[in-house]
Amino acid sequence: MEELKGNTAESEAQPTPAHVENGNDFEAEDLALMEQFLNDPAHDYRNLKYGDTVDGLIMRVERDEILVDIGSKAEGIVPSREMQSLAAEDRAALQVGDPLLVFVVQSEDKEGRAILSIDKARQERSWRLLQAAYEKGEVISARVVNYNKGGLLVNLEGVRGFVPASQVSGISRGPETQKQSDMARMVNTDLRLKVIELNRNRNRLILSERQAMQESRESKKDELLASLREGDVREGTISSVCDFGAFVDIGGADGLVHMSEISWSRVKHPGEVLNVGAHLPVMVLSIDHERKRIALSIKRTQHEPWSRVGERYQLGQVVEGVITQLTSFGAFARIEDGVEGLIHISEMGDEPMQSPRELLAEGAVVQARIIRIDPTRKRMGLSLRVNRESGEDDDEIGEQGE
């Protein structure tokens, strides 16, 4: 008994083998290896389901289908019906080993392969990009593929969008036949657009070319305003004509040419001398950075006529003039563009008259004698008494009409 106890004690005193002593370390190492194995995408057995968008690699390209490795030790096929959005040249360019984004239509067919779609994958990606553009207010580009009575149809990588006719600057607001003609002309052209409504559940995408253009112009306008200086002369295009003047596009922004700055000659309405679309030089008069307004002048890019009057005309000279305006005290006659003279009522003849209209009408051509010239004040006195010598009262007569 004592001998047995001794043996027992002796056995307890024996050293423990290393693999037993470090059992906990082995267990921790095994767990780490297992975790590494599970985290390796190559061993990731995902449960694919409808709607998943997967990055795959092309394994084989055939006439009616494409075999794709979608990871998870799985393969899928893209049947021809699911790649209709691919142009012929794009499809011909597909090569084994190329990456390919696909959409899971069916997780598994009879042969255990997933049914995939390129069309829906492109559409999915487009919706995501469109959503981001909508949230950020970004401008996108799209090709017009067709049109209907209400507007243009565009294609954005598998997503159909609609641009109402009212949101397209190139569509006239005239007769319906003209609108249809304008829209037909835009098919197969690219437009810069802004998303104004997006509802994926209803497959609804509304875009605006006008808003995109407006944002682009605002950006260009800021750049232009920063670079403009008073006195600059720029080439411009008349964009619109109104009662008080004309708006001229000078490369990204419209400036106003007030009626008084159109011509050195008298202008009754801007439409008499200006046409929309005409190109002409303009001078920058002032810039309001806070209100983003630009004042322009057309006439100041031309010679100031009165600067040469002293050289071209002299007292007593007979000139031809066109009556431009009748007043109670006389009539104004245009001698040349920008130069007018006053024919006082007392200089219209020897017989007294109540009104210049008794003798003259606007547009009438007359022969008149110069009886006073003041280039500094831009004044010229004229007389219809062609044979009368210049009198001492000429200056007094001229002053009465000022």
Per the CB < 8 A criterion, the answer to whether 263 and 280 are in contact is no
pLDDT in tens, 86-123: 878 888 889 999 998 888 988 888 888 889 988 888 88
Question: pLDDT 10s digit of each residue in the chain, 402 long?
Answer: 444 344 444 444 455 454 444 555 556 665 665 566 455 554 454 577 887 888 889 999 998 899 999 886 788 999 989 888 787 888 888 999 999 888 898 888 888 888 998 888 888 888 989 999 999 989 999 999 999 989 999 988 778 999 999 999 888 887 888 899 999 999 999 999 999 999 988 889 999 999 988 887 777 788 888 889 999 999 999 999 999 999 999 987 889 999 999 988 778 899 989 999 999 999 999 999 888 899 999 999 988 888 888 888 999 999 999 999 999 999 999 998 889 999 999 999 888 888 999 899 999 999 999 999 998 888 999 999 865 554 444 444 444 444
Q: Where are the beta strands (DSSP E) in 200-275?
A: 204-208, 233-242, 245-249, 254-258
Residues 370, 395: contact at Cβ < 8 Å?
no
Q: What is the pLDDT of residues 289-312, one digit of tens each?
A: 888 899 999 999 988 888 888 888
d(CA 64, CA 392): 106
Three-state SS at 358: helix
- What pLDDT, in 10s, does the model give residues 159-169? 899 999 999 98
In our burial notation (b when 16+ CB lie closer than 10 A, e otherwise), range 31-44 reads: eeeeeeeeeeeeee
Q: 79: closest CA among 47, 105, 46?
A: 105
Domains and CATH numbers, the chain: 52-122 (2.40.50.140), 137-213 (2.40.50.140), 228-301 (2.40.50.140), 308-383 (2.40.50.140)
Compute the distance between CA of residue 335 and CA of residue 340 in angstroms, rounded to an integer. Answer: 6
Beta carbons of 245 and 262 less than 8 angstroms apart? yes
Residue from 322, 362, 368 nearest 344 by CA: 368
Q: Which two tokens stand for residue 199?
A: 């509802």
CA dist 164 to 129, 178, 183, 194, 388, Å?
21, 15, 11, 12, 72
- Per-residue tokens: 326: 């009748």
Count how many Cα atoms sit within 13 Å of the Cα of residue 124 in the half-sphere of its side chain.
Answer: 16
271-274 — which CB contacts under 8 Å span 24+ positions?
271/241, 274/238, 274/241, 274/246
CA dihedral 306, 310, 314, 320 (to 10 degrees): -30
